[in-house]
Structure formats: C-alpha cells, structure tokens
Amino acid sequence: MSAAMVLLRRELGLAWGRGGGPLPALAFYAAITLLLPLAAGSDTDRLAPVAVGVAWMVLALACLLSLDRLFERDYEDGGLDLLMTGPLPLELVCAIKCLAQWLAGGAPLALAAPVAAVLLGADIALAPLILACALVGALAFAFIGGIGAALALGARRGGLLVAAIVLPLFCPPVIFGGAALYAAALGSGGVSGLMLLSGWTLAAVALSPLAMAAACRNALS
C-alpha cells in the first residue's frame, strides 16, 4: 500500500475515532436549521427566500468546527515530527489531511445541505445544484481552513483564531456558491456560478498545501 493511502486511512480512522467523525458537525447543522424558524418565525413565505442562503452559510460554519484540531494534536504529541520524517513531502501530507477532513466531515455535511434547504422551504428542484455546490464548497472550506489551522499552531485559544483567519477567506466560495444558487432559484441557471466555485476550489486545493506546509515548518522551528 502506498504511503499516501496509509496516511489517508489513518487520518480517516482518527477522524472517526475522536468524537464520532461528522456526527457532532451534523448535529450542529441540524440545530441551526431548527433554530432559524424559532428565531425568525415559521412563516414559510418569510423563510423560503433565505432557505438556500442559510443552508449554504451554515455549511461554511459547520466546516469550521473541527478545523482547530486538524494539526494541533499532531503538533503537540510529536505526530508532526513523525509525518515529517516520512516518505512524503509535507505539502502532500497537508493535502492528504485536508482531503480526509473533507471525506470525514465536509462531504457528509454537504449531503445534509439540500435536506436542510428543502426543510426550510426551498424548491426541491434546486436540491441537486445545492448538493453539487455543497460538495465542491466543502472541499474548498477544508483546504482553506487548513491554512488557518496551520497558522494558529501553538497559539492559545486557537479555535477562535482559526475562525478569525479563515472566515474572510471563505468569502469567495460563499459568494460564488450563493450566486449560483440564487441564479438557479430565479430560473437563469446556476451552472456558471458552479463553474466559478469549482475553479476557485481547484486553485485552493492546488495552492493552500504550500501555505499549510510553510506554516507547519514555521511552528516547529
């Protein structure tokens, strides 16, 4: 088995081992979705116009939840030393960790996104596009979030710091995804927005491992 597969399997195993994988983030997602009607009233005329946007934004927030531990634990227990003396370059190690973060957290949340949107009153015909945007967007959130997690290494109250670093960087994918979904809701097709989102995500997947690895090296030295 190649080293990359060895590491991916371990990261997935660890993600499920510490606190049940995506279940806490899914519970968070469900709770926010339920809170919105309680706070804004259950009138579907009022909820339906924002349903898609809320489902999309809560996905971004839920993706933040487990980010602060992405590198922190390995940094503290010597796992990062072990990963750095292994056969893969640190950039690839970081990319694999983010991929595992997406598989174990982001992708299950993306499956919940269309359900939440439809429950809040979105048109069910939008569900496939919501799912596509959520899957692609969650991948971007995992890789961009990794930069924040690596930069916050060694800082006290790293969780808040991660959110402060990462949320501004979440703006472009949130805008592209939101635009795609609203264009589709107005009947003018959301494919161009989805393309923009995909392009941005590709760039994030390609470039952010460089930043993550540099931040990890900096934290160790």
Helices (H), the chain: 3-17, 23-40, 44-64, 69-77, 79-84, 90-101, 107-119, 127-151, 158-169, 171-185, 191-220
Query: Least Å distance between CB 213 and other proteins?
Result: 13
In angstroms, the CA 221 to CA 216 distance is: 9
How many residues contact other proteins, by CB under 8 A? 26
Contact between 17 and other proteins by CB under 8 A: the answer reads yes
Instruction: List the structure tokens of 163.
Output: 């959110």
Buried b (16+ CB within 10 A) or exposed e, 200-221: bbeebbeebbebbbbbbeebee
Residues 83-102 that bind other proteins (CB under 8 A): 83-88
Contact between 10 and other proteins by CB under 8 A: the answer reads yes
Select 43 or 76, whichever has its Cβ closest to other proteins.
76
Contact between 123 and other proteins by CB under 8 A: the answer reads no
Residues 67-86 that bind other proteins (CB under 8 A): 73-74, 76-86
Contact between 1 and other proteins by CB under 8 A: the answer reads yes
Contact between 6 and other proteins by CB under 8 A: the answer reads yes
Contact between 7 and other proteins by CB under 8 A: the answer reads yes
In angstroms, the CA 88 to CA 91 distance is: 8
Query: Least Å distance between CB 83 and other proteins?
Result: 8
Instruction: List the structure tokens of 159.
Output: 């969780």
- The answer to whether 196 and 176 are in contact (CB under 8 A) is yes
In angstroms, the CA 206 to CA 204 distance is: 5
Select 88 or 167, whichever has its Cβ closest to other proteins.
88
> Among 62, 58, 57, which Cα is nearest to 25's?
62
- Binding track, positions 202-221, relative to other proteins; x by CB under 8 A: ------------------xx
Among 8, 12, 14, 61, binds other proteins (CB under 8 A): 14
Contact between 188 and other proteins by CB under 8 A: the answer reads no
- What is the DSSP-derived secondary structure letter of residue 126? G
Select 1 or 186, whichever has its Cβ closest to other proteins.
1
Residues binding other proteins (CB under 8 A): 1, 3, 6-7, 10, 13-14, 17-18, 73-74, 76-88, 220-221
